[in-house]
């Protein structure tokens, strides 16, 4: 049973991690495409329109990859997690069906019109199609996170005699206190990813002295969007999300922060340390006294419960993984703020486009928003364990009892091989689009 559960979780973790590499760019990029098209309508300067069409090609490629990798992920609800689907399908089926029927079709339909319908529609209607692509991608994220939020903090439900969950308050699903902070935090994180991608491509053009006009536009747009989103993802949305965890999942919060023992007189915030689960302490820690209490409750001496206050059977199943995922996310987020602030200072001084070390830095940072987004989701998912539906349905109760660990391992290896090929194909196609670059007055 343990082997089966391990491979079930590994397969879902791998497929969803790979899948989310693509939506996290498209959601943020859709907003920037709308911005470029809006700037063109206001200024009538062709480079803004060409920038919008160029990035929509990258969007379309990411969208296609997201569809291809998303379908096998959802199939696992019926294969590896059939019991979970049977018990909770009356609730999560609502939001997942809405995401597929409304958001996905809205996004995909108007994506085609944006790519191929500019001459037929005219620029104003072309802008509308771009806006609807943006709306569809953000609505998709909202409905997915509504599903996730219900699993983290279940509301508006009742449990029937046969153990099935049914929805008795539809409004509660979308007024869930977990939903709004999680959604805003996630969407801003996706804007960070798109900001670094756009600025990295612009830096590449400037360093190679090709498409320099677009290089300047991409770098400027990327760092301005980047500094705003980097600050907002930390405060207020990151702060709001962390306080939600402290309020509704205190055992998760203790594990995230590495608090093994409740401390009187205020809790310190750990900057560096290694969780030692056997001895229930942090090794080699560097901490600042009382700061965590102040950030969480606005009181320097507020008490935060340690893991010693909870039953061990309710501990997150992978405390070190949760702790490191959370601290990597926070650490990278802090670095993003610093880099984007520095880039904006250089932009204000009119030196950014010729500051090679800054341009190289923007290129070097390209993969790190993907890492931060991934570890952010790992924090949420590892933090909920050992529950599929927090405090109601354990992970062990949701796995399919008839799917063997051997079958799951075999298909996991198949996914790894197939996704490796898909990933290489994606990089080749994206590289070809970027190398060709946008063209002024292109048809």
pLDDT digit string (tens) for 136-148?
A: 999 999 999 999 9
pLDDT digit string (tens) for 236-251?
A: 999 999 999 999 999 9
The model's pTM is 0.96
Give the whole-angstrom CA distance, residue 49 versus residue 69: 30
Q: In 52-76, which positions are buried (b, 16+ CB within 10 angstroms) versus exposed (e)?
A: bbbbbbbbbbbbebbeebbebbeeb
- Which two tokens mark 342? 């520095």
- In angstroms, the Cα distances linking 257 to 199, 306, 382 are 33, 9, 13
pLDDT digit string (tens) for 409-427?
A: 999 999 999 999 999 999 9
Give the whole-angstrom CA distance, residue 307 versus residue 314: 10
Give the whole-angstrom CA distance, residue 358 versus residue 346: 9
- The DSSP bridge partners found for residue 197 are none
- In angstroms, the Cα distances linking 196 to 141, 216, 220, 221 are 20, 14, 11, 10
The answer to whether the CB of 41 falls within 8 A of the CB of 124 is yes
| Nearest of 368, 34, 378, 373 to residue 189 by alpha carbon | 373
Per-residue DSSP letter, 268: P
| Nearest of 441, 424, 422, 408 to residue 82 by alpha carbon | 408
**Does 443 score more than 60 pLDDT?**
no
| Nearest of 19, 20, 23, 53 to residue 36 by alpha carbon | 53
At which residue do the structure tokens 């090794």 appear? 283
Give the whole-angstrom CA distance, residue 261 versus residue 412: 39
- Which two tokens mark 161? 């005699």
Number of alpha helices (DSSP H) and beta strands (DSSP E) in the chain: 17, 6
Domain locations in the chain as residue ranges: 181-401
- The DSSP bridge partners found for residue 283 are 274
**CA max distance for the chain:** 69
The answer to whether the CB of 150 falls within 8 A of the CB of 176 is yes
pLDDT band at 1 (very low <50, low <70, confident <90, very high): low
pLDDT band at 377 (very low <50, low <70, confident <90, very high): very high
**Does 15 score more than 80 pLDDT?**
yes
pLDDT digit string (tens) for 101-136?
A: 888 888 988 999 999 999 999 999 999 999 999 999
Chain mean position to CA 168:
29
pLDDT band at 186 (very low <50, low <70, confident <90, very high): very high
Query: What was the pLDDT predicted at 263?
Result: 84
Q: In 231-269, which positions are buried (b, 16+ CB within 10 angstroms) versus exposed (e)?
A: bbbbeebbeebbbbbbeebbbbbbbbbbbbeebeebbbb
Query: What was the pLDDT predicted at 100?
Result: 85
**Does 90 score more than 60 pLDDT?**
yes
Based on the number of CB atoms within 10 Å of its own CB, is 279 exposed (0-12), middle (13-18) or buried (19 or more)?
Answer: exposed
């Amino acid at each position: 049973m343990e082997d089966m559960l391990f491979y079930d979780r590994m397969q879902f973790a791998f497929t969803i991690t790979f899948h989310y590499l693509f939506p996290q760019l498209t959601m943020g990029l859709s907003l920037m495409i709308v911005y470029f098209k809006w700037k063109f309508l206001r200024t009538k300067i062709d480079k803004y329109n060409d920038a919008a069409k160029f990035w929509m090609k990258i969007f379309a490629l990411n969208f296609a990859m997201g569809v291809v990798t998303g379908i096998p992920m959802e199939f696992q609800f019926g294969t590896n997690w059939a019991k979970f689907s049977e018990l909770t399908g009356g609730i999560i089926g609502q939001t997942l069906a809405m995401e597929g029927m409304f958001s996905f079709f809205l996004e995909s339909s108007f994506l085609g019109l944006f790519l191929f319908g500019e001459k037929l529609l005219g620029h104003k209607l072309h802008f509308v199609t771009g806006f609807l692509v943006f709306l569809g991608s953000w609505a998709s994220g909202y409905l997915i996170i509504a599903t996730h939020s219900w699993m983290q903090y279940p509301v508006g439900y009742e449990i029937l005699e046969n153990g099935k969950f049914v929805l008795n308050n539809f409004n509660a699903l979308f007024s869930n206190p977990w939903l709004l902070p999680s959604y805003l935090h996630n969407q801003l994180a996706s804007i960070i990813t798109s900001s670094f991608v756009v600025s990295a491509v612009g830096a590449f053009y400037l360093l190679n002295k090709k498409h320099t006009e677009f290089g300047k536009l991409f770098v400027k747009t990327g760092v301005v969007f980047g500094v705003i989103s980097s600050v907002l993802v930390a405060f207020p949305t990151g702060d709001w999300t962390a306080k939600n965890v402290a309020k509704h999942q205190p055992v998760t919060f203790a594990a995230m922060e590495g608090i093994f023992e409740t401390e009187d007189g205020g809790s310190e915030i750990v900057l560096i340390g290694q969780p030692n689960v056997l001895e229930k302490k942090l090794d080699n820690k560097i901490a600042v006294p009382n700061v965590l209490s102040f950030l969480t409750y606005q009181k320097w001496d507020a008490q935060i419960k340690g893991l010693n206050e909870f039953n061990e059977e309710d501990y997150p199943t992978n405390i070190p993984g949760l702790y490191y995922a959370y601290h990597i996310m926070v650490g990278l987020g802090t670095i993003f703020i610093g880099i984007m602030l520095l880039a904006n200072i250089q932009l204000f001084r009119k030196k950014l486009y010729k500051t090679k070390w800054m341009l190289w830095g923007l290129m070097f940072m390209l993969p790190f928003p993907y890492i931060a987004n991934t570890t952010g989701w790992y924090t949420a998912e590892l933090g909920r364990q050992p529950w599929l539906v927090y405090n109601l349905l354990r992970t062990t109760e949701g796995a399919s009892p008839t799917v063997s660990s051997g079958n799951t391992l075999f298909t996991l290896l198949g996914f790894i091989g197939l996704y490796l090929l898909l990933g290489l194909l994606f990089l080749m196609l994206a590289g070809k689009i970027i190398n060709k670059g946008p063209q002024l007055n292109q048809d």
